[in-house]
């Protein structure tokens, strides 16, 4: 293999050609690490990598809405970037994967270039493009830093006993529906029994190479199918769209009345619906509601699994998630359990959506550099030495600053110029109204957009009624779940279940 060739990971598949079924795969831990890394990815990253065809409920529509909304509807220009290209809080792990399909570069540092900046003493930096310095200037890319203070990554050992998330030098078995466990004779025998294999000789063993592109496709299949390996091997086309995602089952979350109920609830929305509850056209909402939808894009897949036990209506990533605390537990590195089971958000990504789902946010990272902030602004990462240099011929220090090191701290990209708010919302919402369609297209409220929706629905206006609804925290959480599972999110949660079922029957 040529040195510059893109990396691949070889996986051995055990195939029953007669039944056209991959029974299971045998792999090294490199492949398991890549599978587990899916759980650290923010939903927005997954939608982006799958080219807005993730088929996770209405999430693709939510993403497109963020793309199409003008930046004036966001707190800052950086907010839009945070939603469309969210960072992965576990990136220091993921950058060590044999194949990392997430192409965000989280260690790019943006800094206000102005050496006489009025906010100079803040030592503010950012990982998000278009972050605005307190002085009002837009921060610029200063290249990549190698490591933040407190990053605990270790280089992979030579024997490679330690993987990224997984340890040990053994083989793993991955079932067709992505259950992961260390390979053993007893497991193999139980799988043979499960699939009625009397003579293992009929199984063909095929080594397939997974490239970055194929891993991305596998991610998509694992969101849409219960047998991603079989479909991968036999090259079954991924369905373009799944119209069967009508309405999700009504096993909604038990209502938890806690202290947050009051604080986070009270989202007032107005809906336009049929008088007989058979359809909902759209909701008229404010920025807080939109923030609960958009914020989902920054939430890591593993956190969604933790809250809802699933992240798509048809996939099998729930099995992968359960393996971490189940079949594969013994071989998941201790320090990685929580990184996968309850992944956090990067600094400043916390928002209304993450608070409802109780996803924690990392504290702003710090970066100690061996130079004063002015010298860093001039020399960037490549020439921090200038701060210490002495010009012998002219007998003077290039930098007269006495303090020769500084601690850079991540600034909040959500704060507007001159803004004093705490700043955790993405959407600039207090004075703006939005229209949200049943399949979660979000538009600024205008008569043109509402008239269009009503006329496209082809419903007599006399059959329509407008209602005001105050959503509690648990209702918002149900909505968030429905975003991932249903194509008509609003009506599946806000209309009475019986009527919806009827509508569903009609559709089939
Ligand atoms: Zn500045
Ligand atoms: Zn200096």
In whole angstroms, how large is the CA radius of gyration of the chain?
A: 26
pLDDT tens per residue across span 268-327: 899 999 998 888 999 999 999 999 999 999 999 999 999 998 888 888 999 999 999 998
Average pLDDT over residues 104-124: 86
Whether residue 112 is predicted with pLDDT greater than 90 in this model: the reply is yes
Distance between CA atoms of 435 and 68, rounded to whole angstroms? 14
Whether residue 117 is predicted with pLDDT greater than 70 in this model: the reply is yes
Distance 377 CA to ligand 2 centre (A): 9
Virtual torsion, Cα 269, 274, 277, 278, nearest 10 deg: -120
Q: Tell me the β-bridge partners of 444.
A: 434
pLDDT tens per residue across span 45-59: 999 999 999 989 899
Residue 100 vs residue 497, higher pLDDT: 100
Closest by Cα among 370, 369, 351 to 361: 351
Whether residue 155 is predicted with pLDDT greater than 60 in this model: the reply is no
Distance between CA atoms of 30 and 46, rounded to whole angstroms? 20
pLDDT band of residue 259 (cuts 50, 70, 90) is low
User: For position 115, what pLDDT does the model report?
Assistant: 86
Pairing mode of beta strands 406-410, 21-27: unpaired
Host H or E run for residue 210: strand 204-210
User: For position 36, what pLDDT does the model report?
Assistant: 96
Distance 372 CA to ligand 2 centre (A): 4
Distance 375 CA to ligand 2 centre (A): 4
Average pLDDT, the chain: 87
Distance 497 CA to ligand 1 centre (A): 54
Distance 386 CA to ligand 2 centre (A): 7
Closest by Cα among 36, 178, 33, 48 to 102: 48
Position of tokens 């955790």?
424
Average pLDDT over residues 70-89: 94
Whether residue 263 is predicted with pLDDT greater than 70 in this model: the reply is no
pLDDT band of residue 121 (cuts 50, 70, 90) is confident
Q: Tell me the β-bridge partners of 132.
A: 138
Close Cβ partners of 160 (under 8 Å, ≥ 6 residues apart): 169
Whether residue 63 is predicted with pLDDT greater than 70 in this model: the reply is yes
pLDDT band of residue 261 (cuts 50, 70, 90) is low
- The ligand placed nearest to the CA atom of residue 114 is 1
Burial class (CB in 10 A: 0-12, 13-18, 19+), 436: buried
Whether residue 202 is predicted with pLDDT greater than 80 in this model: the reply is yes
Distance between CA atoms of 337 and 81, rounded to whole angstroms? 29
Distance 140 CA to ligand 2 centre (A): 20
C-beta of residue 287 within 8 angstroms of C-beta of residue 337: no
Least confident of 67-81, 213-227, 306-320: 306-320
Whether residue 357 is predicted with pLDDT greater than 50 in this model: the reply is yes
pLDDT tens per residue across span 404-435: 899 999 999 998 876 655 678 999 877 789 99
Average pLDDT over residues 191-197: 90
Distance between CA atoms of 293 and 352, rounded to whole angstroms? 9
Percent of the chain with pLDDT over 90: 60
Long-range interactions of 329-335: CB distance < 8 A, separation 24+: 330/182, 331/29, 331/166, 331/167, 331/168, 331/170, 331/172, 331/182, 332/36, 332/165, 332/166, 332/167, 333/162, 333/163, 333/165, 333/166, 333/167, 335/152
Distance 128 CA to ligand 1 centre (A): 15
Q: Report DSSP letters for 223-240, one per residue.
A: HH-S-HHHHHHTTPPPPS
pLDDT band of residue 107 (cuts 50, 70, 90) is confident
Pairing mode of beta strands 406-410, 140-144: unpaired
Distance between CA atoms of 408 and 372, rounded to whole angstroms? 10
Distance 137 CA to ligand 1 centre (A): 6
- The ligand placed nearest to the CA atom of residue 369 is 2
pLDDT band of residue 265 (cuts 50, 70, 90) is low
What Cα–Cα distance (Å) separates residue 160 from each residue in 26, 67, 152? Answer: 18, 42, 17
Which residues keep their CB under 5 angstroms from ion ligand 1? 112, 117, 119, 133, 135, 137
Q: How many CB atoms lie within 10 A of CB 119?
A: 15
User: For position 154, what pLDDT does the model report?
Assistant: 53
Distance 116 CA to ligand 2 centre (A): 13
Distance 105 CA to ligand 2 centre (A): 28
Host H or E run for residue 175: strand 172-175
C-beta of residue 181 within 8 angstroms of C-beta of residue 172: yes
Domain ranges of the chain: 9-370+405-507
Distance 133 CA to ligand 1 centre (A): 5
Tell me the longest C-alpha to C-alpha distance in the chain: 89
Close Cβ partners of 488 (under 8 Å, ≥ 6 residues apart): 246, 247, 280, 438, 439
Burial call 337-372: b when 16+ CB within 10 Å, e when fewer: eebbbbbbbbbbbbbbbbbbbebebbebbebebebb
- The ligand placed nearest to the CA atom of residue 411 is 1
Distance 122 CA to ligand 2 centre (A): 16
């Amino acid at each position: 293999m040529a040195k510059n060739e893109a990396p691949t990971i070889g996986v051995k598949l055990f195939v029953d050609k007669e039944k056209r079924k991959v029974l299971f795969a045998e792999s090294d831990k490199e492949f398991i690490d890549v599978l587990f890394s899916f759980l650290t990815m923010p939903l927005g990253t997954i939608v982006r990598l799958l080219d807005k065809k993730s088929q996770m409920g209405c999430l693709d529509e939510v993403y497109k809405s963020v793309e199409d909304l003008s930046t004036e509807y966001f707190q800052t220009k950086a907010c839009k970037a945070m939603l469309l290209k969210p960072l992965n809080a576990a990136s220091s792990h993921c950058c060590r994967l044999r194949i990392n399909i997430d192409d965000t570069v989280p260690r790019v540092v943006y800094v206000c270039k102005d050496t006489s900046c009025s906010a100079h003493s803040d030592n503010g930096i950012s990982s998000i493009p278009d972050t605005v310095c307190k002085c009002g200037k837009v921060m610029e890319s200063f290249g990549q830093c190698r490591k933040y203070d407190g990053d605990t990554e270790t280089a992979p050992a030579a024997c490679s006993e330690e993987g990224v998330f997984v340890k040990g030098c053994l083989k793993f078995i991955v079932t067709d529906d992505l259950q992961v466990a260390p390979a053993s004779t007893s497991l193999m025998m139980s799988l043979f029994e499960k699939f009625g294999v009397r003579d293992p000789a009929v199984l063909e063993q095929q080594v397939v190479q997974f490239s970055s592109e194929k891993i991305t496709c596998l991610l998509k299949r694992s969101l849409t199918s219960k047998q991603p390996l079989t479909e991968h091997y036999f090259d079954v086309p991924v369905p373009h769209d799944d119209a069967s995602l009508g309405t999700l089952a009504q096993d909604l979350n038990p209502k938890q009345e806690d202290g947050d109920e009051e604080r986070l609830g009270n989202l007032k929305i107005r809906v336009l619906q049929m008088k007989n509850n058979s359809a909902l056209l759209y909701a008229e909402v404010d920025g807080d509601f939109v923030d609960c939808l958009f914020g989902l894009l920054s939430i890591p897949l593993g956190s969604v699994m933790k809250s809802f036990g699933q992240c798509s209506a048809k996939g099998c990533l729930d099995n992968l998630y359960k393996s971490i605390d189940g079949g594969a537990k013994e071989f998941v590195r201790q320090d990685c359990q929580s990184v996968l089971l309850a992944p956090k958000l990067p600094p400043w990504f916390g928002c209304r959506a993450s608070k409802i789902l109780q996803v924690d946010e990392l504290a702003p990272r710090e970066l100690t550099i061996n130079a004063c902030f002015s010298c860093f602004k001039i020399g960037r990462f490549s020439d921090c030495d200038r701060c210490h240099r002495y010009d012998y011929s002219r007998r003077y220090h290039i930098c007269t600053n006495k303090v020769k090191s500084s601690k850079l701290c991540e600034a909040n990209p959500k704060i507007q110029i001159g803004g004093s708010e705490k700043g955790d919302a993405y959407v600039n919402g207090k004075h703006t109204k939005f229209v949200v369609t049943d399949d979660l297209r979000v538009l600024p409220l205008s008569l043109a957009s509402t008239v269009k929706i009503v006329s496209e629905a082809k419903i007599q206006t006399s059959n329509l009624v407008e209602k005001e609804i105050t959503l509690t925290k648990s209702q918002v959480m149900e909505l968030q779940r429905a975003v991932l599972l249903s194509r008509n999110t609003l009506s599946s949660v806000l209309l009475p279940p019986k009527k919806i079922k009827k509508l569903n029957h009609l559709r089939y």
